Amino acid sequence: MSSSENKQMGWAIALHGGAGDIPLSLPPERRQPREEALRHCLQIGVEALKAKLPPLDVVERVVRELENIPQFNAGKGSVLTSKGSVEMEASIMDGTTMNCGAVSGLTTVVNAISLARLVMEKTPHIYLAFDGAEEFARQQGVEIVDSSHFITAENIERLKHAKEANRVQIDYTQPVQNDTKKETTIANGDSQIGTVGCVAVDGNGNLAAATSTGGLVNKMVGRIGDTPVIGAGTYADARCAVSATGKGEAIIRGTVARDVAALIEFKGLTLEEAAACVVHERTPKGTVGLIAVSAKGEVAMPFNTTGMFRACATEDGYSEIAIWPAAKIE
């Protein structure tokens, strides 16, 4: 479906590096690299859209970049399972065709989102996981490395801390430090960040969404979250594209990404209304954030957590990089 008989609405893009209990006191040495990364990835996406790349290619490219950045919980920088291993997952969806691809349980694949796309394009299936996905990766000749490549010192520390607290950290903020009285918010499991994602639309209304993650700190081996689940962490159709982040279990239960699109299609809500409804009325506070774009070139980035690493831009010149609600950096 294309809106070629409609006036051109313009392209739009949004991306996220995770929603969660990101403390306002986040020290500069932690905040700035992430802001810079968001700026960098936004620029990559904007340039790709300006060069008329299809949104499906744009979201894959941006998520690859986010996966490669160790500060975010995807690819390099993925959080660790209860056994200290890495298990990465991702999904991608093309709103024009409704084709989708997903992968879970990856341990050596440098870019999970690209393997998800290959599942979509090179197999009769949508979703491959664990040994079968790793085998497919080798058949396809995608870039693979020793799984130690993905593990960062920060995440080893996060796992240690979570084990001490005997808890599955839904996600993470920062490793524990001396004066972290505020940090004890981790102790009650409130600290939440994780997952990266990107949604994009071109001037013809073609939409795409992509999401990628390392999952939960201290998760059980074999645990799958919302990120590879079509309709939960990722969704795109002819009306909108959505990528969600936060507590995976809440996002699955709330079929978050699908619900945004369903509210638009079945109830006639606008993108803004639908996204706000799902995040603020249909999911528990402190669990979810999402980014979404519509076929008309609108953007929405609601979250019910303390913050969400995010960036967006539209063809009319608007752009934003932000972490907390009103703390726009530019």
Binding interface with another protein (CB under 8 A): 98-100, 102, 104-105, 123-133, 135-136, 168, 219-225, 229-232, 235, 248-249, 252-255, 258-259, 262-263, 266-267
Distance in Å, CB of 235 to another protein, minimum:
8
Query: For residue 35, what are its two tokens?
Result: 């802001």
Binding-site entries: 223-226, 245-248
User: What are the two backbone dihedrals, phi and then psi, of residue 279, each rounded to the nearest 5 degrees?
Assistant: -75, -40
- Residue placing its CB nearer to another protein in the complex, 40 or 167: 167
Distance in Å, CB of 254 to another protein, minimum:
8
The count of other CB atoms within 10 Å of the CB of residue 116 is 34
d(C-alpha 115, C-alpha 141), whole Å = 10
User: What are the two backbone dihedrals, phi and then psi, of residue 143, each rounded to the nearest 5 degrees?
Assistant: -70, 125
Distance in Å, CB of 230 to another protein, minimum:
5
Judged by DSSP in three states, 138 sits in helix
Q: Please tell me which residue in 173, 195, 283, 306 is annotated as part of the active site.
A: 195
- Which residue shows structure tokens 């709330």? 254
Distance in Å, CB of 19 to another protein, minimum:
18
Q: Are 159 and 177 in contact (CB under 8 A)?
A: no
d(C-alpha 186, C-alpha 191), whole Å = 5
Whether 195 is catalytic: yes
- Residue placing its CB nearer to another protein in the complex, 53 or 165: 165
- Residue placing its CB nearer to another protein in the complex, 52 or 83: 83
- The number of residues in the chain equals 330
Binding-site entries for substrate: 223-226, 245-248
- Residue placing its CB nearer to another protein in the complex, 262 or 295: 262
Active site residues: 195
